[in-house]
């Protein structure tokens, strides 16, 4: 009996466990992990002196409520020593991203930001939006807060500088000016309406404008307009006048244009009710290029300095920081964070918490936006939680779902079949979790909706079972919504039973009488279909979920269909990528003409070696 009692005794945790590690630690810098009784990581931290930092946790008092809870739950610890505190900070942030500990601050939305690229791999450079790695040759300007901000700026640049935005293949195939030339948005270099040197001058003006040197650009345009007027070239003078007006309009629409801040990110945090909003404004070339708000997980009660420090190290992990970062609150280790960011940028990056003047006004503006954004989000979150509670009641769930996955298929008579999955929860639609499934099996070609749903769910849950068989992550859904009726539900039930996943509730959403919205029927396995009353907010919520899944699946199908339409036999030839494909089509005019070409003719195309020419020739002639 005593042995049984000893076995049932819970594992020790808290200050005593932490204190026991002190005798094995020295003053080296490093990273520590605090784990609970189930070996789940509670917290990852860095330290300049591991022994000193851990001894703080070993004290029985003097901790905030958050840290005290974390200490009580700690059953064991792990340590990694590093050579420097800088290395410890980098390792800490890598582990936080990988492990997502409950008590750490975690940046949840970490997408890349778009830039404007003036490509320099063509005699007449192209103006375009660019996202991702900066591998193309050219001049990059950004980041911009959103694709919309980039598109507006591109539209304005077209009006002022008349730069081309068409692809190289389109450029090479033109025989007459396109509509953009007619509406004065392009100089039509594709058909020789502008000399190379004049187009190069336009490129230079555009780059100066994006660098903030607008005064010189405007002065040059005014000088050209006056010269054209003096030469009685009134049509050209009028065109220049319109460009000056467009440039003036661009400058007046820029919003906050700080005169004393050429390049900076303005970052402010607002904390309320255990939730945080971080607002980031991008200032480049003395112009505001938009803002984005982020809602990091606050680590169960972290304060502003800790939130900002974690945000900075995670946000700039794959982004180049500007020369100046203005903050609403000081971070705990400004010298260390500044050194990390400077190393990533390859130049000096300064952190500042301004107290007065124009910079302080910029920070106050960001803080006000963070405060208002968090208030809106909290109001929306309260509404969302009521809807989730109503959904649990309507579908007899044990608790409001934290993660809802909605599935739909899209195809045209079995062609280009695609399955779509969207995800929603207390924070609304989680677009970073959306997934597309290209249907690979025979069900797609046969237009078999049941078979397609089986394939999608099989792939989804086989991957979940492989990656997280113990269901420790938040990637497992609490509810599945399927676009369809009894047949779809039977298919879902069959596949989940085969996989041994029989504890996740699922509901089919089918159009009711006359397929009218508002008359939806809901299907559950082994139960008769039912409906919700017409004005029930839960019904509207389910309709929004289903419509979003439908939109996502249709968008994936259209993208796949468009790609198929533009496909050519050249795509199947090894060694022929996008650039060589463009070169071949530009030289021969069509894929059919390429298939008829001899090896010598193929060698005449830029970038096509004799070996590759032989490969292309053999591909079409079966040798």
For CATH 3.30.420.340, list the domain ranges present in the chain: 263-376, 404-558
Residue 368 CA, distance from chain mean position: 25
**Separation CA 496–CA 503 (nearest Å):** 9
More confident residue, 108 or 484: 484
For the chain, what is the mean pLDDT? 83
Tokens, residue 129: 């939006």
Does domain 404-558 fall into CATH 3.30.420.340?
Answer: yes
Q: Single out the residue of 544, 545, 550, 517 nearest to residue 531, CA to CA.
A: 517
Q: Single out the residue of 141, 135, 137 nearest to residue 161, CA to CA.
A: 141
Q: Span 571-575, mean pLDDT?
A: 78
Q: Single out the residue of 235, 232, 195, 225 nearest to residue 187, CA to CA.
A: 195
Q: Which CATH class is domain 569-621?
A: mainly alpha
Question: What's the burial of 348, exposed, middle or buried (CB within 10 Å: 0-12/13-18/19+)?
Answer: exposed
**pLDDT of 3 over the 50 cut:** no
What is the tens place of the pLDDT at every residue in 165-195?
A: 888 888 888 888 888 888 888 889 998 888 8
Tokens, residue 56: 């703080």
Does domain 263-376 fall into CATH 3.40.50.720?
Answer: no
**pLDDT of 139 over the 60 cut:** yes
- In this structure, are residues 588 and 446 in contact, taking their beta carbons and an 8 Å threshold? no
Residue 345 CA, distance from chain mean position: 21
Q: Quote the strand ranges of 162-206, DSSP E.
A: none
Tokens, residue 618: 């053999």
Query: Which pLDDT belongs to residue 1?
Result: 40
Three-class DSSP category at 333: coil
Residue 202 CB partners (closer than 8 Å, separation 6+): 161, 162, 163, 187, 194
> What whole-number percentage of the chain has pLDDT above 70?
88
**Separation CA 88–CA 79 (nearest Å):** 11
DSSP designation for 163: -
What is the tens place of the pLDDT at every residue in 227-268?
A: 777 777 776 677 667 666 666 655 544 445 677 888 899 999
Query: Which pLDDT belongs to residue 7?
Result: 47
Q: Span 220-228, mean pLDDT?
A: 75
Does domain 2-103 fall into CATH 3.40.1440.10?
Answer: yes
């Amino acid at each position: 009996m005593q042995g049984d009692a000893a076995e049932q005794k819970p594992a020790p945790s808290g200050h005593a466990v932490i204190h026991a590690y002190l005798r094995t630690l020295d003053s080296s810098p490093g990273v520590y992990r605090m784990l609970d009784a189930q070996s789940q990581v509670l917290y990852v931290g860095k330290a300049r002196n591991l022994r000193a930092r851990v001894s703080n946790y070993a004290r029985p008092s003097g901790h905030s409520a958050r840290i005290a809870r974390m200490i009580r739950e700690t059953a064991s610890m792990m340590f990694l020593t590093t050579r420097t505190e800088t290395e410890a900070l980098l390792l800490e942030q890598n582990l936080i991203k990988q492990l997502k500990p409950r008590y750490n601050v975690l940046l949840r939305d970490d997408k890349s930001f778009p830039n404007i690229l003036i490509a320099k791999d063509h005699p007449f450079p192209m103006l375009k939006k660019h996202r991702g790695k900066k591998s193309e040759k050219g001049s990059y300007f950004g980041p911009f807060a959103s694709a919309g901000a980039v598109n507006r700026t591109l539209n304005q640049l077209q009006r002022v500088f008349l730069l081309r935005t068409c692809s190289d293949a389109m450029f090479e195939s033109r025989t007459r000016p396109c509509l953009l030339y007619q509406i004065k948005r392009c100089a039509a270099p594709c058909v020789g309406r502008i000399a190379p040197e004049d187009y190069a001058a336009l490129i230079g003006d555009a780059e100066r404008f994006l660098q903030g040197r607008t005064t010189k650009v405007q002065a040059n345009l005014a000088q050209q307009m006056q010269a054209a007027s003096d030469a009685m070239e009134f049509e050209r003078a009028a065109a220049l006048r319109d460009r000056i007006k467009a440039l003036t309009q661009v400058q007046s629409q820029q919003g906050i244009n700080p005169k004393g801040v050429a390049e900076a990110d303005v970052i402010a945090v607002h904390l309320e009710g255990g939730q945080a909003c971080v607002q980031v404004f991008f200032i480049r070339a003395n112009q505001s290029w938009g803002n984005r708000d982020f809602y990091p997980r606050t680590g169960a009660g972290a304060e502003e300095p800790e939130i900002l420090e974690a945000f900075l190290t995670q946000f700039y992990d794959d982004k180049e920081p500007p020369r100046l970062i203005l903050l609403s609150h000081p971070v705990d280790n400004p010298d260390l964070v500044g050194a990390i960011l400077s190393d990533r940028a390859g130049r000096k990056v300064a952190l500042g918490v301004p107290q007065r003047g124009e910079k302080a006004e910029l920070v106050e503006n960001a803080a006000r936006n963070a405060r208002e954004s968090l208030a809106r989000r909290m109001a929306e979150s309260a509404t969302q939680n009521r809807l989730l509670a109503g959904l649990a009641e309507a579908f007899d769930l044990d608790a409001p779902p934290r993660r809802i996955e909605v599935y739909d298929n899209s195809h045209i008579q079995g062609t280009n079949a695609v399955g779509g999955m969207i995800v929603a929860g207390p924070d609304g639609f989680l677009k970073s979790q959306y997934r597309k499934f290209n249907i690979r099996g025979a069900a797609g070609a046969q237009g078999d909706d049941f078979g397609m749903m089986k394939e999608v769910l099989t792939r989804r849950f086989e991957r979940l079972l492989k990656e997280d068989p113990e269901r420790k992550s938040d990637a497992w859904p609490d509810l599945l919504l399927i676009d369809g009726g009894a047949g779809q539900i039977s298919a879902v039930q069959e596949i989940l039973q085969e996989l041994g996943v029989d504890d996740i509730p699922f509901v089919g959403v089918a159009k009711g009488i006359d397929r009218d919205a508002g008359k939806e029927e809901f299907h559950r396995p082994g139960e008769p279909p039912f409906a919700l009353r017409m004005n029930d907010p839960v019904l509207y919520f389910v309709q929004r979920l289903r419509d979003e899944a439908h939109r996502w699946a249709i968008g994936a199908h259209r993208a796949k269909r468009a790609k198929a339409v533009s496909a050519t036999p050249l795509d199947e030839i090894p060694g022929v990528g996008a650039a060589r494909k463009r070169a071949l089509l530009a030289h021969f005019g069509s894929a059919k003409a390429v298939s008829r070409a001899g090896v010598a003719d193929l060698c005449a195309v830029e970038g096509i070696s004799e070996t590759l020419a032989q490969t292309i020739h053999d591909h079409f002639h079966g040798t």
